[in-house]
Amino acid sequence: MTHKAINLNEKLSQFTEHWSPRTVTEFNGHDIMVAKIKGEYHWHSHPDTDDFFLVISGTITIRLRDGDVVLNPGELFVIPKGVEHQPICAEEAHIMLIEKSGTPNSGDAETAAPRQFI
């Protein structure tokens, strides 16, 4: 077994699509993912799991029904399960996500981006 660090910026350089997370490793039944985002994602919730966002670069806003949370590089936010939210950003941002393996990024398995390892 070879041990080596995972370089998130190198992983992010391997794709261009927005709103299409890529799994870079697994951790105790969870996917550690990176994603490029830009524009508005639709309002959604995750009924069975919290949603973890860590901003690597750029600025994102997480819209919540009772107020917005603005995240800058190095900041993270956890959205409790069942809370409706909408991530948005005017310029491209790079984020890290941690979710239980198999959690649909859209909150709905039929509309979720497919799980992709890089």
Q: pLDDT tens digit string along 19-59?
A: 999 999 999 999 999 999 999 999 999 888 899 999 999 99
Domain membership of residue 12 (yes or no) is yes
Q: Which of 85, 93, 98 is nearest to 37 (CA)?
A: 93
Domain membership of residue 52 (yes or no) is yes
The reported pLDDT for the residue numbered 46 is 87
Provide the domain count of the chain: 1
Domain membership of residue 41 (yes or no) is yes
Contacts of 57 by beta carbon, 8 Å cutoff, 6+ apart: 73, 93, 94
CATH number of domain containing 42: 2.60.120.10
Q: Which of 113, 96, 75, 112 is nearest to 27 (CA)?
A: 96
pLDDT at residue 112 greater than cutoff 90 = no
